[in-house]
Amino acid sequence: MKVVIAYDGSEHARKALQQLRLLNGPIEAVLVSVVHGPVRSIRGTAIEVDPAEVEHARAALDTVAEELAAFGITARTRLGTGEPADVVVEVAEEENAELIILGTRGLNLAKRIVMGSVSSSVLHHAPCSVLVVR
């Protein structure tokens, strides 16, 4: 089973990783982390992604992949830039994933309506099943 796991370093993302160990059969895991950007400033000029943020995200992905390997789960890593929900859905489509696992921050209804949420957006746009972990 090919599984895409969204990883942002949060406690909820760590809980999402734990769900991998509950799945049966051979698992092909793809860890995805997203760095916001590039974005436009007020003046309309592009603001590039902070290289330190990219390196931090890449190091975190590599660490998590090593942790999973200790449990016998091999995981590839993918680092994207842009809106997290969009990138997770794109990776799932490109990878022909059968499942996406991601955490939720537990936003209340009012905040979801105003701000939206990554998990809600992924649920509505994913090409496969989605497991949202609290």
- Amino acid letter for position 20: L
Proportion of the chain above pLDDT 90, given as a percent: 58
Of the listed ranges 60-64, 68-72, 103-107, the least confidently predicted one is 103-107
User: Encoding tokens for residue 93?
Assistant: 């489509």
Proportion of the chain above pLDDT 70, given as a percent: 83
pLDDT of residue 115: 43
What are the beta bridge partners of residue 132? 102
Count of domains forming the chain = 1
12-57, pLDDT tens digit by residue? 899 999 999 899 889 999 999 998 776 555 566 666 778 888 899 9
| Cβ-based neighbours of 30, under 8 Å, separated by 6 or more | 2, 3, 4, 5, 75, 76, 77, 78, 91, 95, 97
**Which CATH number fits the domain that encloses residue 32?**
3.40.50.620
pLDDT(71) > 90:
no
Full domain range(s) for residue 86: 2-133
pLDDT(116) > 70:
no
pLDDT(1) > 70:
yes
Average pLDDT of 65-74?
Answer: 92
pLDDT of residue 43: 62
| Residue 133 Cα distances to 5, 10, 46, 100, 108, angstroms | 11, 12, 34, 11, 15
Predicted TM-score of the model (pTM): 0.85
